[in-house]
A = this chain, B = another copy of it.
Amino acid sequence: MQNLLITTSFAPDAVIIGNGDFPTAEIPLAAISNARYICCCDGAAASYISRGFVPDAIVGDGDSLDEVFKEKYRDILHIIDEQDDNDQTKATRHCLSMGFRSIAYVGATGKREDHTLGNISLIERYRNEMGIDAVMLTDHGYFVAAEGDAEFETFAGQQVSIFNFSCSRIESSGLKWNSYAYGSWWQGTLNEATDNSVKFCADGRYLVFRTYKGKI
């Protein structure tokens, strides 16, 4: 239930480490420590291994890996050559094939901004097309996809942003400024929880971002 507050005790079934910047914040690093299964997108594998760990799986097109690395890690390496999906989606399919449905995404942001946008929006696809309980943890907060009515655990002063994908109605309680069916991304940003829960009544799909800390 990624609608709960996420803390350092968050223990997803699997963590997928993406090709963006390796996380530095306490909560995504704790999620890596707590997870049963670690799957690296191939561009992230070297970063993770350099920290003294070995992932359970490395998934991607293999383009960024040299032959020595491929040979050394061949038992956990899953090279998937198709062009329709990015490495994050390939890693997701792999985790799903292993039976994992609660998946946290870390290291998915922080390099090319178009990749960041793509990766963020994909968690909505994983939720709706694949039935995954997906959360993306950045160094600042976390994105969760929602559809229709939904309730999110919050704390007073928590910064909250909402990105509307397909709603013509998004009503809320528990926010400093009532939400609406935002027509632009910026309109749903810079909101704030007033208490320990935010409820939405909505008729479509949207994405909710909550920060780890209050306004800083």
* B-binding residues in A (CB < 8 A): 86, 109-122, 124-125, 138, 140-141, 143, 159, 161, 163, 165, 184-186, 189-190, 209, 211
Contact = CB atoms under 8 A, between A and B. Distances in A.
A122 B86 contact: no
A114 B184 contact: no
A113 B109 contact: yes
A145 to B, nearest CB: 11
Contact of A209 (B109, B113, B184, B185): B113
Contacts of A117: 117, 120, 161, 163, 185-186, 189
Q: What does DSSP make chain A's interface, helix, strand, loop or mixed? A: mixed
Contacts of A119: 186
B113 A138 contact: yes
Contact of A184 (B109, B111, B121, B143): B121
Contacts of A211: 112
A186 B118 contact: yes
A125 B187 CA distance: 11
A120 B113 contact: yes
A96 to B, nearest CB: 17
A88 to B, nearest CB: 9
B121 A140 contact: no
A165 B141 contact: no
Contacts of A143: 113
Contacts of A209: 113-114
A1 B138 CA distance: 35
B140 A112 contact: yes
Given A111-B140, A113-B143, A138-B113, A165 B184 contact: yes
Nearest to A215: B63
20 contacts: A109-B113, A110-B110, A111-B140, A112-B159, A113-B116, A113-B143, A113-B209, A114-B141, A114-B161, A114-B189, A114-B209, A117-B117, A117-B120, A117-B163, A117-B186, A118-B189, A121-B184, A121-B185, A122-B184, A122-B186
